[in-house]
A and B are shown apart, each in its own frame.
Chain A
Amino acid sequence: DVKVTQSSRYLVKRTGEKVFLECVQDMDHENMFWYRQDPGLGLRLIYFSYDVKMKEKGDIPEGYSVSREKKERFSLILESASTNQTSMYLCASSNSSGGPIYGYTFGSGTRLTVV
């Protein structure tokens, strides 16, 4: 089974800190995504990547950046954490070949609290 591993389940950071959220997948998927999930708002796409060193902005990229230096790893960076970035962060991956029929595989999520 495809596995998407997020480095931390829970994180508490201070306002203004630079925060790194790491995501690793083990099935050679081309596509990787970062979402945040807030009550009543569903999952919102922050950034995505279809290839190494490639990145594209999603719906809510402000305050975030990403890095994809290796195919299996996709990092989300909060340049200067703010309290409105307190949220559940979910990483996902998918395969390009075969299209969407296998769906996205999600990690277990990182619940980030910025104080």
Chain B
Amino acid sequence: SQKIEQNSEALNIQEGKTATLTCNYTNYSPAYLQWYRQDPGRGPVFLLLIRENEKEKRKERLKVTFDTTLKQSLFHITASQPADSATYLCVPGSARQLTFGSGTQLTVLP
């Protein structure tokens, strides 16, 4: 069955550093991969999408890579801020349906 693993349930990082979140997937060949941010008690918010033929995508302080050989995506937040603290969800997709993992809870310490 399809499985998504994000590097850890929780990641703490000092303000100003680069946060790197890892997403690995198995038994799956997604055509694209999305990343979402979720704050406590709220619905996820779409951040960006990377397609299988793209190696890297950037949006402001965010950078995502997608390695279909390793079946892995890395999500980077540069110059992290306490306001970046949230749960980040990696979501591989191949059609109109998405499979969500449990996410990684990021805490940026001031």
Contact = CB atoms under 8 A, between A and B. Distances in A.
A33 to B, nearest CB: 8
A35 B93 CA distance: 16
Interface in B33-49: 34, 36, 41-47, 49
Contacts, number: 54
A109 B42 contact: yes
Interface in A3-32: 4, 31
Interface in A94-111: 94, 96, 99-109, 111
A44 B101 CA distance: 9
Given A100-B49, A103-B49, A42 B41 contact: no
A42 B98 contact: no
Nearest to B51: A101
Nearest to A88: B41
Contact of B43 (A48, A50, A90): A90
B103 A45 contact: no
Interface residues of A, number: 29
Contacts of B42: 108-109
Contacts of B47: 103
Given A41-B102, A42-B102, A102 B41 contact: no
B102 A101 contact: no
Contacts of A44: 100
A61 B98 CA distance: 16
Contacts of A104: 36, 44, 46, 98
A102 B46 contact: yes
28 contacts: A4-B43, A31-B96, A35-B100, A40-B102, A42-B4, A42-B89, A42-B100, A42-B103, A43-B44, A44-B100, A50-B96, A58-B97, A88-B41, A90-B43, A90-B44, A92-B43, A94-B96, A96-B96, A102-B46, A103-B36, A103-B46, A104-B36, A104-B46, A105-B46, A106-B43, A106-B44, A107-B43, A108-B43
Interface of B: 4, 32, 34, 36, 41-47, 49, 89, 93, 96-98, 100-103
Closest 4 CB pairs of A and B: A103-B46, A106-B43, A43-B100, A42-B102
